[in-house]
Structure 1
Amino acid sequence: MKNVDYIIVGDGYAALFFAHQLLLNNKSFVVFSEGKKSASQISAGIINPVVLKKFTTFWLAQEQIDFLKTSLKEIESYTGENYLIDSPIHRIFHDENEQKLWLKKSGNEELKNFLDEKFDHLNGVKNDFQTGKVNQSARLNVSGFFNGLLSYLESKGNLVKEKFDYSKIDVSNSEYKDFSFKNILFCEGMGGKENPFFSDIAVIPNKGHHIRVKLSDAIPEDITIKKKHFLFPLNDNLYFYGGTYDREQMHHEIDSSAVEQLQKGLSEFYPGDFEIKEVHFGFRPTVKDRRPIVGRHSQHSNFYVFNGLGARGILNGCYFSKTLFEYIENNIPLPQEISIDRF
């Protein structure tokens, strides 16, 4: 029997950022990874402090951005890689009214550090009303982050590559197969719906598609372009374009309507030809009030959940991993906004 401080079930942003907290604090742990591509692992990796439909921001945006930058530097110290891509978002304006609204909002106290007052004109795409730059926005190298961290955890003996079997938990003795644990944390995204301990958590699946396309003409390399969806360069001369939001079509297949929506959206501002090379989709675990669900099981005091990160998985996963760690280890109360008890 191997004693560990934590078992983490899941391998998305919530799981890996929490594992990072455990590494920082010299805790022993194992991460159970089934090896399927989670919604986190096919996500765009956009780091964005602004809601680009209405030009508003959200709770703790600046604190989350700052904390992410610190955490990624810490992660670089042991994986040897920097996963932050300095690729600011340029939002294409639909009309003059959007320009005016952006300028007006850029004077707001909570938005002035994010909305650049100077507009740009981009080459290679249609932007008759110019673009607004989101300061402090960036991207995460998603495949690099997951490959790098999971490889590091495997090299340290912290990774168990198998599907977690709930029926094998000995609740009264805090044991699972060959492990005895102090705490167990479930970070399973939509997979959490099958978890008998937390099956009733209020996460709602939101299906997102993105396409990988080959463009006939290159566009500026160091930026992320946003109109309806995000466009940015990947390796192999491909570009990422996505993602859609759908709460209706819940089957595990590609939706042709979503692909059409993406084709149409890209054609609106990209004048050249493009060829779709790949289509991907995943199910984001979203919550009605757009806040994560974090907390302790009502009956089992060493069972915890970290879920519902939604479309802001990177920022939510990183920032609230420390909040959860402080709650478990130091009894620092969770903010009511994210506590599982709020439902």
Structure 2
Amino acid sequence: MSLGLNIERYFCFVQIDYLIIGQGLCGTWLSWFLMKENKTFAVIDKNEPITPSKVSAGIINPVTGRRMVRVWMAEQVLAFAHEAYTEIGKFLDITTISQKNLIDFFPNVHQRQVFLERIEEGENYLQSYPEQNQFNEFFNYNLGCGEIRGCCIVQLQNLVPAWRQYLLNNGRLVEETFEFEDLVINKESIRYHNIHAEKIFFCDGLSSFQNPFFRQLPFAPNKGEALIVEIPNLPGDHIYKKGFVLAPLEEGNLFWFGSNYQWNFPHANPTEEFYEQARRHLQAWLKLPFNVLEHKAGLRPATLERRPFVGLHPQQKNVGILNGMGTKGCSLSPWFANELVQNLVHNKGINPHADISRFQKILSL
């Protein structure tokens, strides 16, 4: 159903249920699940050239950290994410997710020992790779490798633009920068220009750091950098890791090569330091020739607790947030977007570790 939002500066009055600010992963999934509940909504997004979803490799990994522990709520979140990406992909007639197990080349003896200990403890996402010499023609590695099962790559470069086009085609997208000073908050509703809505939700990543309703929240942005490299003849049926991660892209022979994140950084731009470090690392690890095509960098809206911010403001019940997914955005975003919609429509609870009501005191200041 078109909402008629494609009229310059809204010459007509529009009444909707929800106004969503931002169309990254959180805004995409929130609008998707609202649509499934037959709710009316609009999304405001400028389509900035650099966003986390445009820099990320889109990897979903069931284990994390040097101790190789399961990610938070792994069993629930990962199965739900795979189902959700598959469903929206069928709806849009695009590929959105593919399973790619990760080959972990041990960088040192300690990491190999940790990996093997976790297998002995019964971690079924991990296994000793049966063919230790299978990758000898592609990589240098002398400590062996293991396999992490259950990993996936989300094709963000397909999903986010395709959903954006769907919103645009159906009159649900306003392509402009959201201006906070134009927002009017009433007791039971909000108004932005000629859009009237019951509630507004901020899914705008780093912009929420300056949001007067939510800037007190303990955001802790981190920075990620990556190279897009061309590697002819390297099989794209796995994700590879040896300190850095090498993940296949849909385009033939192209790979994303990067590290997890940096907590301390002077700016958000790509750095020569990372470029040289990554290039040297790849030269030492890879036996095949490669060509660097692009160098990307972006900031993620992570949090000090490494738990997201989900729900309505405790003092302003028509203003809400879905944000702070950090490095696990591809797996957490669909889960918590759905949980938020179920809360709004069916009054179901939000996970207390994610519900922003846990910050009631600081949000009341």
Instruction: Tell me if both proteins adopt one fold, taking TM over 0.5 as the criterion.
Output: yes
Equivalence map 1:23-102=2 (5 Å): 23-36=35-48, 37-102=50-115
Judge which range, 278-287 or 291-300, deviates more: 291-300
- Residue pair 1:119, 1:131 contacting (<8 A) in 2 also: no
**Residue number among 275, 281, 292 corresponding to 1:265 in the alignment:** 281
Match of 2:145 in 1: 131
| Percent identical residues | 26
**Residue number among 109, 116, 120 corresponding to 1:103 in the alignment:** 116
Q: Tell me if 1:143 matches 2:154.
A: no
Match of 2:32 in 1: 20
Secondary structure, in 3 states, of the residue corresponding to 1:286? coil
Match of 1:221 in 2: 236
- Residue pair 1:96, 1:129 contacting (<8 A) in 2 also: yes
Match of 1:191 in 2: 207
Equivalence map 1:198-237=2 (5 Å): 198-215=214-231, 217-234=232-249, 235=251, 237=253
- The separation in 2 between residues aligned to 1:265 and 1:205, in whole angstroms, is 26
Equivalent residue letter for 2:140 = K
Residue 342 to residue 261, structure 1, CA distance change in 2 (3 Å): farther
**Runs of at least 4 residues of structure 1 off by over 4 A?**
none
Residue 118 to residue 271, structure 1, CA distance change in 2 (3 Å): closer
Q: Tell me if 1:327 matches 2:343.
A: yes
The CA deviation at 1:136 is 1.0
Task: Specify every segment of 5 or more residues in structure 2 that has no aligned partner in the other structure, as ranges.
Answer: 1-12, 360-365
Secondary structure, in 3 states, of the residue corresponding to 2:63? coil
- Residue pair 1:88, 1:134 contacting (<8 A) in 2 also: yes
Equivalence map 1:292-307=2 (5 Å): 292-307=308-323
- Residue pair 1:120, 1:130 contacting (<8 A) in 2 also: no
Match of 1:156 in 2: 170
- The separation in 2 between residues aligned to 1:193 and 1:97, in whole angstroms, is 39
Residue 270 to residue 52, structure 1, CA distance change in 2 (3 Å): farther
The CA deviation at 1:107 is 4.0
Equivalent residue letter for 1:233 = P
Match of 1:283 in 2: 299
**Residue number among 331, 339, 342 corresponding to 1:315 in the alignment:** 331
Secondary structure, in 3 states, of the residue corresponding to 2:301? strand
The CA deviation at 1:97 is 4.4
- The separation in 2 between residues aligned to 1:251 and 1:99, in whole angstroms, is 35
Match of 2:261 in 1: 245
- The separation in 2 between residues aligned to 1:250 and 1:18, in whole angstroms, is 32
- The separation in 2 between residues aligned to 1:180 and 1:21, in whole angstroms, is 20
- The separation in 2 between residues aligned to 1:292 and 1:15, in whole angstroms, is 14
Please list the CA deviations of residues 128-180 of structure 1 after superposition, one character each: whole Å capped at 9, or x if unmatched: 23321111111011101112111112122221111111111111152111111
- Residue pair 1:166, 1:196 contacting (<8 A) in 2 also: no
The CA deviation at 1:233 is 2.8
The CA deviation at 1:71 is 0.7
Equivalent residue letter for 1:5 = D
* Structure 2 length-normalised TM: 0.88
Please list the CA deviations of residues 74-124 of structure 1 after superposition, one character each: whole Å capped at 9, or x if unmatched: 212320123112222111112454334323212445x32x11244443241
Secondary structure, in 3 states, of the residue corresponding to 1:254? coil
- The separation in 2 between residues aligned to 1:96 and 1:298, in whole angstroms, is 49
* Structure 1 length-normalised TM: 0.93
The CA deviation at 1:190 is 1.1
- The separation in 1 between residues aligned to 2:131 and 2:34, in whole angstroms, is 43
Judge which range, 333-342 or 279-288, deviates more: 333-342
Equivalent residue letter for 2:178 = F
Equivalent residue letter for 2:16 = V
What is the CA RMSD across the aligned residues, in angstroms? Answer: 1.8
- The separation in 1 between residues aligned to 2:63 and 2:161, in whole angstroms, is 28
Secondary structure, in 3 states, of the residue corresponding to 1:184? strand
Equivalent residue letter for 2:138 = G
Please list the CA deviations of residues 201-259 of structure 1 after superposition, one character each: whole Å capped at 9, or x if unmatched: 211111111011233x5222211101112112332533210135222224232221122
Q: Tell me if 1:10 matches 2:26.
A: no
Residue 42 to residue 104, structure 1, CA distance change in 2 (3 Å): same
- Residue pair 1:87, 1:224 contacting (<8 A) in 2 also: yes
- Residue pair 2:234, 2:253 contacting (<8 A) in 1 also: no
The CA deviation at 1:200 is 1.9
Equivalent residue letter for 1:213 = V
